[in-house]
Structure 1
Amino acid sequence: MKKLLPHFLLLICLTLITFSCSEDAEPEVPGIVELQDNIDALELYNVPYGTDNRQVYDIYLPENRNENTKVIILIHGGGWVSGDKVSMLPYVVTAKEELPNYAFVNINYRLASEGVSPFPMQLDDITAVINHLKINKDEYLISEDYGFIGISAGAHLAMLWSYAYNFDNNVNMVASIVGPTNFKDPNYEDFVDPTFVYFNITPSDSILEQYSPYYNVSASSPPTILFYGGNDPLIPNTQGIDMDAKLAELNVAHEFTFYEEEGHGWVGDNLLDTWEKIIAFINTHH
């Protein structure tokens, strides 16, 4: 999704401001409990949720939030072996403008390497993020209502966690931008097997199904919005098309946008279209 960044960075003047809570001094009035009328916005960076230096997140808390403030979690791509939350900053900036009442959490997660599998390590990291948010929800003043936006491998993780690990039903929606959905797809065989061998995983049918959103989605899965490109050199067209059909078969609320001439990322009008549809989907389902 590297092609996304230049377009967004031209559109957005990136200014990150950390607000601190303040309180005006008022004379005490006996018998009256003073309530704080305004709660300032707050941004916290590299909050640790585990012991590894990759297990950190940035959180952007809106002003005047309360225990009902909903949360959107962003997951970067990078083929499970690379990438960083910094690539999602343009999304954060735009989302804060379009969805000023939401809290945003931009996460890093442990990266896979030769002999070190991303599964279930990276899914466990998402669980750890969710648990950390729940533990600190009173301090942050947020709810336990979550949504996901993921790109590429991050979209795969977002979907898979929402379908297979969302045991408390806290996820209201998930957005996948060019995320892999089905590792058993015959069109995916040419590069799935080498990838899994690199991770020291024997790509059996059961393993491929276990880590494929396509085989974990159910009728009770959260609403899902999908975006795929017809000329994507990494993600076969069937990944999005078949996932769309599966969601329709299960009557899961969803939307599917297929840009026939786009690849593994896009700019211009289609990028703006993607973002407008995600904002509308969040407003409807989250």
Structure 2
Amino acid sequence: MKKASIIVFIGCALFFTSCTEDNNTTIEFETDEAISLNNLSYGDNAKQIYDIYLPKNRTQDTKVILLIHGGGWTSGDKIDMNGFKDFIKTELPNIAVVNMNYRFANNTTSPYPMQINDISSLINLLKEKRSAYQISNSIGLIGVSAGGHLGLLWSYAHDNEQQVKMVCSIVGPTNLLDDAYQNSTDPVINDLIGLFGNDEQNLQNASPLYQLNANSPPTILFYGGQDPLIPNAQGVALNTRLTELDVIHEFTFYQNEGHGWVGLNLLDTSIKLKSFIENNLN
């Protein structure tokens, strides 16, 4: 939920052409070159902006990965996901990448459904710009921490057109009704979960574990056994339910890691994530 220390190491950089876009004008972009567009609006709020990377030689079959940052639903920035963006550009060069910001919750404004609505608004905009961008409607979602929660929840409960072909949660909460949350004496956890209020039905609606069904998209999960913010049951319970429903999934539990990791386990995460994307985002 707070920004994870997961940083993807990239050994080489790609050359691409940067452009700007008037959000009120449809612009056709050359497809024989890679293009990067930054800080484009998908709503009226200053936080409703996104970056998009469009690979060269793309077509309307080009798949898209949407990145969702963490920050306890109250902070963070799309720049926190730039390591993932660079990783995809290098290792999966035929995929377009969208990196989004979203509106923050506070003591008077709940994350749910506001931030889910932001994801819907952006995905709807991408559909409108499909021809201009030369991308498909098939997307994958990758979220870290609070972003992992949002990615899972949108994929399981709000993807009415089944656009999501795979979703990845790295240390994302899955069950806001977990006793470890509801009975916690940790003021940090209480403040974060308290953002969703006390209504049990609302907490259930905002919990990916309860929204998962047999038609949910392939899911890959990564969690740390020593995470101070995410109880172990969060990942384990979702993995169990995915197995029961026979949903394609992978679950990696790093017993000695916390809310993010580096080194060999990060390499392991990168290898598994790349393979999962290749096998499912099609």
Q: Tell me the TM-score normalized by structure 2.
A: 0.90
**Contact residue 149 and residue 174 of structure 2 kept, 8 A:** yes
Does residue 1:283 correspond to 2:274, yes or no?
no
For 1:95 and 1:282, the matched residues in 2 are separated by 10
Deviations along 1:100-146, whole A, 9 cap, x unmatched? 11000000001111211111110000000100100000000000001
Does residue 1:195 correspond to 2:192, yes or no?
yes
Q: RMSD in angstroms over aligned alpha carbons? A: 1.8
**Contact residue 219 and residue 248 of structure 2 kept, 8 A:** yes
Shift of 1:19: 4.7
1:46 equivalent in structure 2: 39
Q: Any gaps of 5 or more consecutive residues in structure 1?
A: 21-36
2:67 equivalent in structure 1: 74
SS at match of 2:239: helix
For 1:276 and 1:225, the matched residues in 2 are separated by 12
SS at match of 1:83: coil
For 2:131 and 2:162, the matched residues in 1 are separated by 20
**Contact residue 221 and residue 251 of structure 2 kept, 8 A:** yes
2:25 equivalent in structure 1: none
**Contact residue 14 and residue 90 of structure 1 kept, 8 A:** no
Match of 2:48 among 55, 68, 76: 55
Runs of 4+ in 1 over 6 A off after TM superposition: none
Q: What is the aligned length?
A: 266
Inter-CA distance 153–16: structure 2 relative to 1 (3 Å threshold): farther
Does residue 1:178 correspond to 2:188, yes or no?
no
**Contact residue 75 and residue 158 of structure 1 kept, 8 A:** yes
Shift of 1:195: 3.0
**Contact residue 162 and residue 171 of structure 1 kept, 8 A:** yes
Match of 1:230 among 225, 230, 233: 225
Matches within 5 A, 1:1-286: 1-5=3-7, 8=8, 11-12=10-11, 17-19=16-18, 39-189=32-182, 190=184, 193-197=190-194, 199=195, 201-286=196-281
Shift of 1:13: 5.7
For 2:129 and 2:68, the matched residues in 1 are separated by 20
SS at match of 2:17: coil
Shift of 1:3: 2.0
For 2:209 and 2:197, the matched residues in 1 are separated by 19
Give the residue type in structure 1 aligned to 2:274. Answer: I
SS at match of 1:225: strand
For 2:253 and 2:166, the matched residues in 1 are separated by 19
Shift of 1:234: 0.3
Percent identity (aligned): 49
